[in-house]
Each structure stands twice: as structure tokens, then as C-alpha cells.
């Protein structure tokens, strides 16, 4: 096995979309060490890959990277600073030629701006293998039985039935100055509850109050690690989400998903799943009735 250290993307959704690339590398003889945000270890807990969290100052990052002893790397981030860290740690790195950093890299790969993000990461990983197969239509995140047990215990403790719907109303940050969260979640929550369904929400860090306000009456679970979060999404009857990290996590877990778009580009970030239904475009949010019709169809299937 050839050791390879991979700097993961900084956002949950992108890390999910990078999984086919990671699977490609592992299938072609690379022993992976993943670095990046602290949550990465939870997200990929069911894999045999090592995970190293980068914390503290830039020099601490360099020391952490150097201490892995791995000399070959792949950068899935686009920044100059992450390339500099790998270079200072003595790692020969393959990455896209972005942010004026080509001179820091062992192999600089031209950027193809039209790629979906799954294709973007997969094409980069393909630079390290002789032949890459067609990207599978689904991401297929591995989830451990231990995580499924924790999810079942958490759901049972909060009175969620065995067939529940998950709503993910939060999408942090702005895209080109526009809010990325659909405004119909409060009405949707009320109507689903009135129909007799159990509605479950899983807030991310520091999101509990926001989620409670957005989804009055829903079962708002306490914050959980990502592997437990994945298992809860996996067993849901349906997930309705913005173009957000939880939406991509639901797609990776293989859950039936309604993905609502309004400002971001579906051609780049649509859920990579044969079980996902996309409603809306980058040019405006869909009508509430269209979203509800897609949900009703999914619940009947």
C-alpha cells in the first residue's frame, strides 16, 4: 500500500462529494491518511483510513502534517495556504492549479470549471491512478452498526417513530449575497405534523435555537456526532433539505431526498444520488406547492 495524505475540503457537503474520489484511491492501493476539520474522523469512522485533525496555528498544522511521516499528498482544497503547509511539511503534493500555487506543488492539475464537485474531486484523484472507472451514480457512505445503534437509542429516547421524516432547514452563509435557505420549512413542518407524521430535526453545532424556531413542534434531537447523524438520516422515510451539508450527507447515506435549490448551481452541487429529487434552480426558489407535490409523491412510493 502506498501512503497518501489527503487534505479534505473544509465543508461537510464537499467532503461527502469527495467520497467517490477517496474510494477510487483506496481501491488503487493507497493507504489514506485524511486531514482537515475535526468532524472528518466521525464522518469516515466506518473506514480503515487514518484521520488527523488540523488545529491551532499554521505552524502547528505543518508539524502535525510532518509528524504523519507521509511524503505524498493530495489537496482537495483550493487555497494557497494549504499548499504552503504541505510544502513546508515536506509533502510532494498533487492538486489543482488554483490561487497561484502551482510552484508549491509536485503536480499541478488544470482546473475544469464546468465540473460537478463530485467529478471535480474524482478527476483530481484520477491523476494518481492508471485508469479510473465511471463514477458511480451514488456515493454510498459506509455507516457502522455502532452508529446505527446510537441513532436508534437517540430516536427512541425522544419519541420518534420508526418511520419519520427529517427536515434540514439551515444552510449557513450566503451565495453571491443571497440566503441559501428555503423559506417554506415552517409551513411544511406544520402540515406534515398535521398529517400524523413524526418530524425530526438534527441541528448542527450552535444551531439548536435556530432549528427550533424554524420547525415548531418538531422533534429536535440534541447535537450528535456525524456518524450518528448519518445513521439517523439513513433510516429516515424521507429527508427534505436545502443545498447544504446535511442534504449531501443524506444523499451519501442513500436516503430518499428532496433537495430544494434557489440560489446555488445544481450543475455543480446537486445531490449525487439516484434517490434524490431536485426542486428549484439557481435563479429562484420553487413554489411551495411544487415542493409539497414532490414530497407527497415520495411519501406515496
pLDDT tens string 192-210: 999 999 999 999 889 999 9
- Residue-wise pLDDT for 52-97, tens only, equals 999 899 999 999 999 999 999 999 999 999 999 999 999 999 999 9
Cα separation values, 189 from 80, 163, 295, Å? 43, 16, 12
Q: 145-300 falls under which CATH superfamily?
A: Glycogen Phosphorylase B; (3.40.50.2000)
pLDDT (mean) for 150-175: 90
Percent of the chain with pLDDT over 90: 91
Q: Is the pLDDT of residue 162 over 90?
A: no
pLDDT of residue 172: 77
pLDDT of residue 176: 76
- Asked if 2-126 and 145-300 have one fold, the answer is yes
pLDDT of residue 161: 80
Do you know the residue count of the chain? Answer: 301
Strand stretches in 37-159, DSSP E:
50-53, 72-75, 92-96, 107-109
Nearest Cα residue to 54 out of 14, 5, 118? 5
Q: How far apart are CA 78 and CA 137, in angstroms?
A: 25
pLDDT of residue 177: 76
Contact 9, 37 (CB under 8 A): no
pLDDT, averaged across the chain = 95
pLDDT (mean) for 159-178: 85
Out of 19-28, 150-159, 172-181, which region has the weakest mean confidence (pLDDT)?
Answer: 172-181
Single pTM value for the model: 0.95
pLDDT of residue 24: 97
Domain parsing of the chain, residue ranges: 2-126, 145-300
- Residue-wise pLDDT for 94-122, tens only, equals 999 999 999 999 999 999 877 899 999 99
Cα separation values, 81 from 58, 77, 97, 170, 240, Å? 9, 10, 13, 29, 36
pLDDT of residue 294: 97
pLDDT (mean) for 8-35: 97
Q: How far apart are CA 76 and CA 172, in angstroms?
A: 21
Q: Is the pLDDT of residue 174 over 80?
A: no
Q: Centre a 10 Å sphere on the Cβ of residue 112 and count the other Cβ atoms it contains.
A: 11
pLDDT (mean) for 209-232: 96
Provide CATH code, domain 2-126. Answer: 3.40.50.2000
pLDDT of residue 96: 97
Answer with the residue of higher pLDDT: 230 or 176: 230
Amino acid at each position: 500500500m502506498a501512503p497518501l495524505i489527503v487534505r479534505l475540503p473544509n465543508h461537510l457537503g464537499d467532503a461527502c462529494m469527495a467520497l467517490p474520489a477517496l474510494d477510487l484511491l483506496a481501491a488503487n492501493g493507497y493507504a489514506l491518511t485524511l486531514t482537515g476539520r475535526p468532524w472528518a474522523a466521525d464522518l469516515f469512522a466506518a473506514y480503515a483510513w487514518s484521520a488527523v485533525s488540523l488545529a491551532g496555528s499554521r505552524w502547528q498544522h505543518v508539524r502535525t502534517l510532518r509528524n504523519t511521516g507521509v511524503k505524498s499528498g493530495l489537496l482537495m482544497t483550493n487555497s494557497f495556504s494549504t499548499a504552503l503547509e504541505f510544502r513546508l511539511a515536506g509533502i510532494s503534493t498533487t492538486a489543482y492549479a488554483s490561487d497561484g500555487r502551482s510552484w508549491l506543488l509536485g503536480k499541478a492539475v488544470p482546473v475544469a470549471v464546468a465540473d460537478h464537485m463530485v467529478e471535480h474531486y474524482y478527476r483530481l484523484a484520477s491523476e494518481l491512478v492508471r485508469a479510473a472507472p465511471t463514477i458511480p451514480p451514488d456515493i454510498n457512505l459506509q455507516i457502522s452498526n455502532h452508529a446505527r445503534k446510537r441513532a436508534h437509542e437517540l430516536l427512541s429516547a425522544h419519541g420518534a417513530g420508526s418511520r419519520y421524516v427529517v427536515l434540514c432547514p439551515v444552510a449557513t452563509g450566503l451565495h453571491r449575497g443571497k440566503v441559501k435557505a428555503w423559506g417554506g420549512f415552517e409551513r411544511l413542518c406544520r402540515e406534515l405534523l398535521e398529517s400524523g407524521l413524526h418530524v425530526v430535526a438534527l441541528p448542527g453545532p450552535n444551531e439548536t435555537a435556530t432549528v427550533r424556531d424554524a420547525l415548531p413542534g418538531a422533534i429536535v434531537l440534541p447535537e450528535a456526532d456525524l456518524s450518528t447523524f448519518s445513521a439517523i438520516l439513513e433510516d429516515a422515510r424521507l429527508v427534505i433539505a436545502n443545498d447544504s451539508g446535511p442534504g449531501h450527507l443524506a444523499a451519501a447515506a442513500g436516503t430518499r431526498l428532496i433537495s430544494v435549490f434557489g440560489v446555488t448551481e445544481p450543475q455543480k452541487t446537486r445531490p449525487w444520488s439516484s434517490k434524490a429529487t431536485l426542486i428549484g434552480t439557481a435563479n429562484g426558489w420553487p413554489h411551495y406547492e411544487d415542493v409539497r407535490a414532490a414530497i407527497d409523491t415520495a411519501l406515496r412510493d
